[in-house]
Amino acid sequence: MPTPATIKLNSGYDMPRVGFGLWKVANDTCADQVYNAIKAGYRLFDGACDYGNEVEAGQGVARAIKEGIVKREELFIVSKLWNTFHEGDKVEPIARKQLADWGVDYFDLYYIHFPVSLKYVDPSVKYPPGWSQGNEIEFSNATIQETWTAMESLVDKKLARSIGISNFNSQLIMDLLRYARIRPAVLQIEHHPYLVQPRLIEYVQKEGLRVTAYSSFGPLSFLEFHMENADNCPRLFDSPVVQQIAAKHGKSAAQVLLRWSTQQDISVIPKSDKPYRLAENLNVLEWDLEEADIKAISALDKNLRFNDPLNYGMYVPIF
């Protein structure tokens, strides 16, 4: 049966189940891609300080609003707090800068991007600051509790309607829930058939958090980084299991992979600059995979993680 196009967050707001991810969207095309995605029906845009394209994404939004294609309240704009802004007094100033970059008054959802606190870098010196300012990564002493308390103040001040966490494991979430005055609404994680993480997903869903998957197509997102585990990994689009299921349902491999997630109550944020792919990626709610299909795809699990700092040559062993 069809899956509803939105999900209710524990903050009371509705979030689209399928959005448009802005990671690696080039600055020179970002505004047009956002604008075209809005025209194609996308309402959730998943951005971040670290992506370096929030100004351009905001330009695409502004253009669509100006032309009357959409109203601000019909959009669900997402951003993330970068690692160098975890100190309590740094959270609100950078959130306000990001809001200004987007040209909006509030974020619908604002995540802690990674559970890693790095030394502060003034935006006037380098922005986005990345992981390292030299040869070594410099950590700060900010705790997750300090950062989360500051995140909660963003809700109090109506700068963010909902707040969430990204790349957190279950132990960190257990700890955070002990002191959180405002519970995280969403956990965003790398999730695809090579990294299924069933225990983590079961736990957070039982706790009332929603899950959003990134890198739904597995190694495809990481080929440009020349990671050994991505370069030598079979493409999910070429998997006989995925291809057979796609042929059976008359869908593309991409649609099957996205439906595998959405049918398990997991949101997705794919992207494309091709109109037919934009439409295809939205069409992952109106039809169902069989239970045997879901089990067969899940059986591809290799516990293979690509978006790990260690894979980029940085010794930050968070997973």
* Mean pLDDT, the chain, whole residue set: 96
pLDDT tens, residue by residue, 44-62: 999 999 999 999 999 999 9
Q: Would you state the pLDDT for residue 317?
A: 94
Interval 75-119: pLDDT, tens: 999 999 999 999 999 999 999 999 999 999 999 999 999 999 999
Q: Which residue has the higher pLDDT, 127 or 273?
A: 127
Please write the tens of the pLDDT for every residue from 178-229: 999 999 999 999 999 999 999 999 999 999 999 999 999 999 989 888 888 8
Q: At what angle do helices 198-206 and 170-179 cross, to 10 degrees?
A: 20
Core vs surface per residue 155-178: b (16+ CB within 10 A) or e: beeebbbbbbbbbbebeebeebee
Euclidean distance between CA atoms 297 and 294, whole angstroms: 5
Instruction: Give per-residue pLDDT as tens, 268-288.
Output: 999 998 999 999 999 999 999
What's the pTM value of the predicted model, to 2 decimals? 0.97
Residue 307 has pLDDT above 90, yes or no: yes
What value does the mean pLDDT take over residues 63-85?
A: 98
Which residue positions form the known binding site?
113
- Asked about 110 being catalytic, the answer comes back as no
* Tens of pLDDT, residues 249-271: 999 999 999 999 999 999 999 99
**109 Cβ contact list (under 8 Å, min separation 6):** 9, 15, 76, 77, 78, 79, 160, 161, 162, 163, 164, 185, 186
Binding site for substrate, residues? Answer: 113
Q: Quote the pLDDT of residue 226.
A: 85
Which domains occur in the chain, in start order?
6-218+265-286 (3.20.20.100)
Catalytic residue among 42, 51, 110, 214: 51
